[in-house]
Structure 1
Amino acid sequence: MNKKKPKILITEPIPETVIKHLREFGDVTVGEKGLFQSEENLLEEIEKFDALLCMLSVPVSESVLKKGTNLKVVANFAVGYDNIDITAAHSLGIKVANTPDVLTEACGDYAMGLLLALSRKLKEAEKYLRNGNFDGWEPLGFLGMELRDRNLGIIGMGRIGQAFANRAKAFGMNILYHNRSRLDLNTESRLDAKYIKDPIKLAEQSDVLSLNCPLTESTFHLVDTDFLKHMPEHALLINISRGAVIDEAALAEALHDNVIAGAALDVFEKEPGVHPRLLSAPNTMLLPHIASATHRTREDIGMLAAEAIISVLNGKDDNEIPNLITP
């Protein structure tokens, strides 16, 4: 008799190559887009499954984990995992994995793209042309910030922060950073980066400030009204980390009041919701969480999550499970 295949829930459509790979191993169910962003919907279904491959937007709470009596592994289709109750998972013996590394280069490219578009007012200029207002070259039209010799402050100098720093350095920017722990001297030298212990001091010195940090108790609403007041009036803010690192109401007011000159945001505290005052803020780019949106990267993310699931369900030791999050 054939061994019963494990049941795997993928909470919404992902690259077909990943789904096909998992179907060679288990009985795979793929949810509709957004269906399992509801904890109630997840609670109704989770006890059927041995493995969960989920998005960052899926609330894998203690209640969900306890209801998942057959659940052996949760693999997040993301670097972050603040949507998962890690403590509860470990106490229940459920393995948790994420997908670092594979997003690094795509996110580094994207952060640089946001900076170029924001600093040179590309969105506004294109809208101006499309609206039929372009009637000839203007010497004072859409003047922006030249990046050479400007200070780029990075909060969170992990893999993605360093990838962005490498790109910005090629544009002649000076790299300043704040991190939970200082980088080793060799890495600082390679990036030509200066460590600033106090994030407020970093804000004061940054022409551009990029958020590349995880969401923790210390980074929740790190960028608030007081923080923004310490930034130069010409400064630009970029966030591709987690939405809740910014107090969005405070940022919206700062943009409307010209406390800072602009912002480019790829993430939001209550996705897919966006603070309404941000929608009308000047010199603001708002993007729908697409920093890792390349064909190669999204497939790599899925495959990494799939391999973690297969490894756990095959009974491999913890040291053989890709990107296992340990207690």
Structure 2
Amino acid sequence: MGSQRLSVVVTRRLPEVVETRMKELFDVELRDPDTRMSRDELAAAMRRADVIVPCVTDHIDANLLAQAGDKLKLIANYGAGIDHIDVQSARQRGVLVSNTPGVVTEDTADMTMALILAVTRRIPEGLAVMQSGNWQGWAPTAFMGGRVGGRRLGILGMGRIGTAVARRAHAFGMQVHYHNRKRLRPEQEAEVEATYWESLDQMVSRMDVLSINCPHTPATFHLMNARRLRLMKDGAVIVNTSRGEVIDENALTRMLRAGEIAGAGLDVFEHGHEINPRLRALPNVVLLPHMGSATVEGRTEMGEKVIINIKTFADGHRPPDLVVPSML
């Protein structure tokens, strides 16, 4: 790309240290105020930039890419998940796509564990009573939850995050089970005493807690559909810190209301920030605003990865976190 600085458009505000470094390195256009770009704004940004830095709230589909013109060369996504980008169409147009894998692993696994504890120990119900000022003092049978130690945890998707969840759960004394496209190596299973299930249906029907840790792809859309959710035990809990589309949210809401599933902890939702009001109203559900990766350290490291991907590309090399369609 020679000595000329790349023009970069960032679609949302990023941590200050990341934005400062971008200003030093590139001809960068930052987003102010921090609102989501409309489709027209995104299309215009893609026409005037060499590189666009989107995140999970920007849906870059084939139609949008068709409006991009010839200037755009790289979509350097801020985040690991790339289900909001049509990678295939981008590559056909000669546009590379990169992401930021690995940096949110520990943070997301921490949040998964927090949700498991919050739901099984009824933390939000206790919190609500304290905040209302109606607490009458300790009682032997009040707010009784369940002990996590000894419970069976089923992990759906044993990638980096699933494995990190397994390590934490094992330390809490939970029995670790998992379903994955590929079975782990024996020494990886041994580390957390994990049991592999080839059949997702069989695993789901025997678990006390189910944690969703797989990406959203066409193959995983509504993987936890109404039929599969019905296989869960009445006393089971489901936790999702990956992508909302993996669960049929309407079916889950119906079953939680009917007491056919004991509880849920959700950090992601099927329809973005539009949450089903019936789901919001349930006392046995913990809902968080997609904050699994929201640590200062994690979000800064994501930005550093974006910068490395753009910088490597600017120097004429392949970005280290290039997303290849065959990976999806």
**TM-score, with length taken from structure 1:** 0.95
Corresponding residue number in structure 2 for 1:276: 277
**1:185 deviation in Å?**
1.1
After the TM superposition, which of the residue ranges 159-168 and 275-284 deviates more from structure 2?
Answer: 275-284
Corresponding residue number in structure 1 for 2:65: 65
* Equivalent runs, 1:249-288 vs 2, <5 Å: 249-288=250-289
* Equivalent runs, 1:43-62 vs 2, <5 Å: 43-62=43-62
Q: Is the 8 A contact 1:119 1:146 kept in 2?
A: yes
Corresponding residue number in structure 2 for 1:78: 79
* Percent of aligned pairs with the same amino acid: 38
**Quick one: distance in 2 between partners of 1:162 and 1:131?**
39
* Equivalent runs, 1:1-327 vs 2, <5 Å: 4-31=4-31, 32-36=33-37, 38-68=38-68, 69-316=70-317, 318=318, 321-327=319-325
**1:275 deviation in Å?**
1.7
State the aligned residue count: 322
Q: Is the 8 A contact 1:228 1:259 kept in 2?
A: no
SS at match of 1:210: strand
For the aligned residue pairs, the C-alpha RMSD in angstroms reads 1.4
After the TM superposition, which of the residue ranges 238-247 and 59-68 deviates more from structure 2?
Answer: 59-68
SS at match of 1:209: strand
SS at match of 2:238: strand
After the TM superposition, which of the residue ranges 123-132 and 3-12 deviates more from structure 2?
Answer: 3-12
Q: Is the 8 A contact 2:9 2:45 kept in 1?
A: no
Q: Structure 1: which 5+ residue stretches go unaligned?
A: none
**1:56 deviation in Å?**
1.1
**1:4 deviation in Å?**
4.2
Q: Is the 8 A contact 1:95 1:312 kept in 2?
A: no
**Quick one: distance in 2 between partners of 1:200 and 1:77?**
34
**1:95 deviation in Å?**
1.2
**Quick one: distance in 1 between partners of 2:47 and 2:314?**
16
**Quick one: distance in 2 between partners of 1:15 and 1:263?**
31
**Quick one: distance in 2 between partners of 1:155 and 1:34?**
33
Equivalent AA in structure 1 for residue 258 of structure 2: D
**Quick one: distance in 1 between partners of 2:11 and 2:289?**
19
**Quick one: distance in 2 between partners of 1:202 and 1:54?**
36
Q: Is the 8 A contact 2:77 2:98 kept in 1?
A: yes
**Quick one: distance in 1 between partners of 2:143 and 2:169?**
22
Q: Is the 8 A contact 1:249 1:277 kept in 2?
A: no
Q: Is the 8 A contact 1:72 1:312 kept in 2?
A: no
SS at match of 1:35: coil
SS at match of 1:101: coil
SS at match of 2:265: strand
**1:14 deviation in Å?**
0.5
**Quick one: distance in 1 between partners of 2:299 and 2:141?**
41
**Quick one: distance in 2 between partners of 1:33 and 1:287?**
20
